[in-house]
Structure 1
């Protein structure tokens, strides 16, 4: 509905009707496509459709607006459609293909995370492909029927109707011309051009600065949710009756502290070693945020004896570990394991992380005979003040590797392959993102090659890529001010943003090139004219 309102205001109501038909047609075709390739509608596919809606609607808008512009010039019939497609068709195809390439690396993410999110890029790529086909076939037919040329207003009634239906779009055109005048003005003045460039570069530098201040968490805990998980860990040799008493008392205390905010409490598991409660909260908006409720429960549990309590908000990712950093030390010598684990535990405990801190370190398996692939090991684990900051795990790993090189390991009786790091699911997620990064670099190279073919230039594709960092200037600042980390969901949003920016820049460059060929004037003059 928002898209239709924007089109009514910015173009006209007839174009809005064409787009209103285009959007459900693409969605219906995507549903059919997902069914054919064996996928169903679920949370991920619907999330992907919401994400791609703002991307694929560009295909229809570009074609509709181009045909409308031709008809306003007085061109009629098939000629108007033909001129419009010749003008924006290639740029539209190129923009859509490059957006597909941006999302393609997400399909290459390996591991459990890759299997989990693979439906997102598949849905996006399918929807964008179908939207391009429909935009180049059905939309021109509908535009030919629905759109009319600009008519001269003669009577007072027709003038009033024009003001109602086209007044806002006329205002936008005037604002566009003012923008073009401003671009022409500062490009014609070298000093102003330098000032604008400096301001733009400073905005990018500011964005990079804020990016460095963000923490990285693949699946951060949400600020609010409709449920939370409470884990109760009992001391060793606790009887089942004693465990039940502790759990019942804890449940009563929870209801007393947050009775108005809780709908029900369900036990997921309960035995002599631990219990897990799922606490369903009342609807969002009728209570305090889940984060505030969790803080109240943490204060409550700090006063209860007999067990350890942990409160977690439900999130899209796996539950966080109490000790997210885990390092394995391999040796068959008990004395070597004892000395090395003590040394490394002290180093980790005293290490000063940039945006985090180590609150506790413990050594597991020292009194047990634990083996991996026939090799005995002990495990040094660290608890962090912010257990969700994935960047801190990598920082701590790098610090250990840098400090304990081959010579220092030899002094402890260890070899170069005696240390390994396994953060469980977090390690696999980090590895998956590494594979996606390599795939992204390959996609950028392919994208560059396609743009070279389109523009017949090795320089102009760099102009397209140059627009990408300028789009991040406000992104990182916004994440920082709203206290949101870099996460899986942010990466998806950034991927979509790159697609939009690249698409818009391709359209602008293609228009400039067309004007150069038609008018036979310099590139600088045509860049000035692109703003109007």
Structure 2
């Protein structure tokens, strides 16, 4: 839409507007949105490169392509479904694609790796594909279902934040559903026709021929791109030339490295893992590993309580906008407000002047000042756009993160806060744009009651009391209602008006018509209709003499003739003070005491201190107060997310019980989910990260769906080995093996699943790493203009980083759980069954 507006303005400049007229754009947020989208797209590309590279080392080039195809195919299918549902390509959709990037190859990995293992054991390709898919079809369906069950409760998120976040679970569910389809249909078909256990080495002659064809085509496109100035041609040409370089690199460097990794390093890793697992399962060490992990979980809870990381509702974003609100008492003349706004504006410009470099300000893109109309604060004025002559607003739009030369926009905001103090009689507060959906002020105390006069007095008392506490970090306590609004009360002399036959409605309508106007006709030009409104000239609109000396026309009831008398003959006027507004919540009148929190201070800590200090604060019996705003939203959303986590675990448990027809196996898998919190908590403590309620809790819920996948595949395959052993021995399904036989099956199952477990964990982590660390590479810029515009940080990492790190921390520890502790628990359960049988 913004681009369309710019095109229209450009056309108007060419055709109609004067040549010397300069038009500048202010407060244009479309570039920031586009940058966020571009960064997420580049994160997806970077993630794909990392994932395919890892697949190549584990599975070889050909087999990596089979799995790698799942990425574009799944995303293409997802895009079709999302488009049909009316979803746009927004930041929430793109992050869900980043989140699902590592997971959508999981199913393909399990299919390809299982077929590869069977072929490596000597089974023919088609038979291996058929048997391999048959062995793991239900496990991967169940694992996908459990992941969807984890994300399903997030789709029930209520409130404003729910509307914002609900796109994430919907998109992720569609992506994972698409990946399951690709794994079961496309991957199984490709493996049955083209899979090989040994890589075919490309001959030098064939490589030269291929390089000449691709290189020549690339050079032609590259030259065409430069001559015709077509970026797409340059991009494709560079990709083809890069592909030639990669082919030679693959033949003479990567092939040897991949071969060494697959046949030497990976074999050594499998043998070491086998020995480690045997060690963990032997004797009483199985109990030591299990209880040691439980103790680590308890210790992590104790440490997180002792260290107490900063708890935030939403991530603390770097301001994209710095907004200064200026407010005089109501009734102040707009000229006085304008004069103050200019003085504040000058101080702000003095602050940002030092970021100028040869006339270019690398911090501030645009600045706009408003006085009166549109100068209100959306959080306190409810989005009203009516005239507010006592208010002013100055909005600074900051440049993109990578253009700020390492300067934090939050530091600029603190400099502005320090610079705009010292104007007596006026309230000046400096805020930043919100990181997510509106949630109110961090300090927001609502006083409820019936008598507005008394409530306002109590609000003033409470504000004074809090100010005397001298709590550091509170910017400026304000009250959202005041009684300084001047008004002119018009009292109709009903007796006199009744004698003349004039209604009070007629008096009110006449005054309203003079001030606000009234539609009297419609003017038509072409297909457009224009309203014709009549009202007083602006200079008479607030002139008391002009307003009350205007005649009111009525019909005399005695003789039926039209008569005019001045309004002043029918009314008396009194100057009074009134409330700026009367606000209600849950049918009760409410007044709010609110404030921002200064940078480098934690809102939750300040609010907790306020709650302690106000515990014994006395109000009249008919009044009450409560902490609302951001605190209320935080409590409500935390309660929902905890409920969502329980629902997710319950849903996963039901699916697992149906899958395994057992209670012990689902409990083992759910235990792995709970124990994975060790990784999350220790990660937050070691790296001193904030606990961001919305994002960290979403990460924990997401983790629950991811962790179960590997555990399902491992236990299911181990159970297949146990069933095969029973068939060999001629045992019934309900009969038990010996302890040694269980030991052997569990070790073999673990060793066989080591590769897919590591692969799925590594691909999921690598898919999130670019977003977690904020590494931004412009691949389109690199291919087209040879400018990768590399930088670390940005708005996406601030917002999504906590969620990504939560999943990474939890998944790294969960991989250890899956490979060691899950087999240990499975072995202990079966050992207990054998022990019970032997006693009988």
TM-score, normalization: structure 1?
Answer: 0.83
Once the two structures are overlaid, the 10-residue window that deviates more, 421-430 or 117-126, is 421-430
Is the contact made by 1:9 and 1:168 (CA closer than 8 Å) also made in structure 2?
yes
Q: How does 1:144-223 map to 2 (within 5 A)?
A: 144-150=192-198, 163-170=256-263, 171-190=265-284, 192-212=285-305, 213-222=308-317
Distance 1:464 1:44 in 2: 30
Alignment deviations for residues 467-511 of structure 1 (CA, whole Å, 9 cap, x no partner): 123323232343343433324233333333222211111112112
1:456-495 correspondence runs (5 A): 456-480=661-685, 481-495=687-701
Candidates 317, 324, 336, aligned match of 2:436: 317
The alignment status of 1:287 with 2:493, answered yes or no, reads no
Kindly tell me: are residues 304 and 327 of structure 1, through their superposed partners in 2, closer, same or farther at Cα, counting changes over 3 Å?
Answer: closer
**1:107 maps to which of 136, 155, 164:** 155
Contact preservation (8 Å) 1:9, 1:169: yes
Structure 2 distance, partners of 1:43, 1:103, is 18
User: Does structure 1 residue 265 correspond to structure 2 residue 366?
Assistant: yes
1:333 to partner: Cα distance: 8.6
- Deviation (angstroms), 1:52: 1.0
| Deviates further, 513-522 or 55-64 | 513-522
Give the number of equivalent residue pairs.
Answer: 514
Equivalent position of 2:325 in the other structure: 232
Query: 1:61 Cα deviation (Å)?
Result: 1.1
Q: How does 1:365-376 map to 2 (within 5 A)?
A: 365=481, 368=579, 370=582, 372=584, 375-376=588-589
- Residue in structure 2 matched with residue 507 of structure 1 by the alignment: 713
Could you tell me which runs of 5 or more consecutive residues in structure 2 were left unpaired when the two chains were aligned. 1-48, 202-250, 373-389, 484-578, 727-736, 752-840
Q: CA–CA distance in 1 between the matches of 2:324 and 2:300? A: 39
Structure 1 residues 255, 391: CA separation in 2 closer, same or farther (over 3 Å shift)? closer
- C-alpha contact (below 8 Å) 1:464/1:502 kept by paired residues: yes
> What is the alpha-carbon distance in structure 2 between the residues aligned to residue 167 and residue 201 of structure 1?
38
Distance verdict in 2 for CA 1:376–1:103, change over 3 Å = closer
Does residue 532 of structure 2 align to residue 327 of structure 1? Answer: no
Distance 1:289 1:230 in 2: 16
Structure 2 partner of 1:413: 621
- Pick one of 130, 135, 141 that aligns with 2:183: 135
Secondary structure, counterpart of 2:325 in structure 1: strand
In our comparison, the structure showing a higher alpha carbon Rg is 2
Going from structure 1 to structure 2, the CA distance change for 1:307 and 1:252 (only over 3 Å counts) comes to farther
Alignment of 1:511-526 (within 5 A): 511-520=717-726, 521=737, 522=739, 523-526=742-745
Does the aligned pair in 2 maintain the 1:81–1:144 contact within 8 Å?
Answer: yes
Work out whether residues 184 and 528 of structure 1, in 8 Å CA contact, stay in contact via their aligned partners in 2: yes
Contact 2:111 2:136 in 1 (8 A): yes
3-state SS, counterpart of residue 531 of structure 1: helix
Q: Which range moves more in the overlay, 65-74 or 361-370?
A: 361-370
Q: What do you get for the CA RMSD once the two structures are aligned?
A: 3.9
Q: 1:247 to 1:85 in 2, by over 3 A?
A: same
Give 3-state SS (helix, strand or coil) of 1:488's partner: helix
Contact 1:113 1:429 in 2 (8 A): no
Shift of 1:107: 0.7
| Whole-angstrom CA distance in 2 between matches of 1:456 and 1:388 | 52
Change in 2 beyond 3 A, CA 1:97/1:456:
same
Q: Which sits farther off after the overlay, 124-133 or 171-180?
A: 171-180
- State the distance in 1 between where 2:391 and 2:725 align: 81
